[in-house]
Structure 1
């Protein structure tokens, strides 16, 4: 879900968000939806284009978004409105937030600070903090070498922002697919008894030598006092992402470090 927002009325948010919605529909094969917090005069309401979202309760809004996320790849959220509690209540569920208007840079930074403070008291806020601080933060200006929060919208931005959102989606899709696959494998590995871990890994398709080495690594960690499942989970990324030689180097380095401590 991609949010476009400005604290000032009539700041071009709707024009921008609609242009991004249309760009994605024209240049990608993704299923794209559009939600406007306010009412639009020219656009007809349909299953994929909804406006007057402010007429729904917060619970109804979240239920609607949850349902739409199952049907559409990307949802564009036009939050063009003066500062309101209704808009702010939805901001924590967006995956990327665009603050429109270069003059609103200070506002965007202040919003960041307020949400960061509020996360101490409200766990629901934490996701947005991650987005604001991490790779999902919207940072763009006409000078691409000097990125800032907030920007002045021009029509040429539609292509840049559209490409950015599409890249985000592709990255997210690949990441989710890989993570889901790995999580399923990890759950299966945790069910394997420690004494036959290498055999269980081999049955799951892991090379036998690598499976045997991973087994030894887990046994070493367990001997040092780490719980079995925790050792499996901690070392799992090395099993999936490392070659046999890389895993062997890590195992030998750990043995060396332990031996050095005992000297």
Structure 2
């Protein structure tokens, strides 16, 4: 499930109307299943299993259950937070995979909101538990093109198509990323089962280049010497083994070794 949030600090900014139009666009123009959550009350739409309103009236436990259920049943969920700024909204926004802040004039607000979201993800236990519960930990503010502007909405059919296509493209990337992460997790599980003193041979046996496998083993040993737990060292360095070429892994190893040597002098 891919959760997309929409928020505006400005009352009656058309967020709900646009959210609903994007929800309908996704259903009409893609093969993805879509659901809709409104933090407030919807007065015109027919409420169903995939269109939910008055989310704010649910307890945190009920919200968790509802989102977890939607996560299993739908590919994309549109979360309409509208202009209701409250502690409840701030606690829920960190769970979205993408966050649209409505209105180009709200750039400073969007940056500050992002800072609050990141703070809550790190220090607020209820938010951290919610994120862990949903297994989602990425929040972004989508900017317009490559310019440093928050994407703004003056409702039009053209804008709906553009944003709908953007969300669809993001979902496809998200889907591939999830698949990649799952593959990584399976390989990491195998790596953890390799005896510590045979780490190099084990990784080489999995298909990693000889030099890279040896360097990775030395990097893990270095972290252990510095006091890091062996399993923690494996987990923290594993992304480098998967994603980085030998040259980049070597550079990071040498930089860390040089930094430690300088500290001891």
- Note the aligned Cα RMSD (angstroms): 4.0
Deviation at 1:34, TM superposition (A): 0.8
Classify 1:209/1:93 alpha carbon distance in 2 versus 1 (closer, same or farther; 3 Å): closer
Aligned to 1:236: 238
Aligned to 2:64: 62
Deviations for 1:24-46, whole angstroms, at most 9, x for unmatched residues?
A: 22222222111122232332122
Aligned to 2:143: 139
Identify the match of residue 107 of structure 1 among 97, 100, 109.
109
- The structure number with the bigger radius of gyration is 1
Aligned to 1:131: none
Deviation at 1:233, TM superposition (A): 4.0
Q: d(CA) in 1 for partners of 2:92 and 2:160? A: 23
Aligned to 1:206: 207
SS of the residue 1:4 aligns to: strand
SS of the residue 2:49 aligns to: coil
Q: How many pairs were matched up? A: 252
SS of the residue 1:79 aligns to: strand
Q: d(CA) in 1 for partners of 2:80 and 2:139? A: 21
Deviation at 1:207, TM superposition (A): 5.5
TM-score of the superposition, structure 2-length normalised? 0.73
Deviation at 1:153, TM superposition (A): 2.4
Alignment of 1:79-118 (within 5 A): 79-115=81-117
SS of the residue 2:5 aligns to: strand
Aligned to 1:9: 11
Gaps of 5+ in 2: 132-137
Deviations for 1:58-100, whole angstroms, at most 9, x for unmatched residues?
A: 3312220111111111110112244344433322222222222
Identify the match of residue 77 of structure 2 among 52, 75, 82.
75
Classify 1:248/1:15 alpha carbon distance in 2 versus 1 (closer, same or farther; 3 Å): closer
TM-score of the superposition, structure 1-length normalised? 0.73
Contact 1:16 1:153 in 2 (8 A): no
SS of the residue 2:56 aligns to: helix
Q: d(CA) in 2 for partners of 1:173 and 1:30? A: 12
Q: d(CA) in 2 for partners of 1:247 and 1:116? A: 28
Classify 1:235/1:90 alpha carbon distance in 2 versus 1 (closer, same or farther; 3 Å): closer
Identify the match of residue 45 of structure 1 among 27, 44, 47.
47
Contact 1:5 1:99 in 2 (8 A): yes
Contact 1:239 1:247 in 2 (8 A): no
Classify 1:23/1:186 alpha carbon distance in 2 versus 1 (closer, same or farther; 3 Å): same
Contact 1:20 1:162 in 2 (8 A): yes
Classify 1:208/1:95 alpha carbon distance in 2 versus 1 (closer, same or farther; 3 Å): closer
Contact 1:198 1:215 in 2 (8 A): yes
Contact 2:92 2:127 in 1 (8 A): no
Classify 1:237/1:201 alpha carbon distance in 2 versus 1 (closer, same or farther; 3 Å): same
Contact 1:92 1:124 in 2 (8 A): no
Contact 2:224 2:230 in 1 (8 A): no
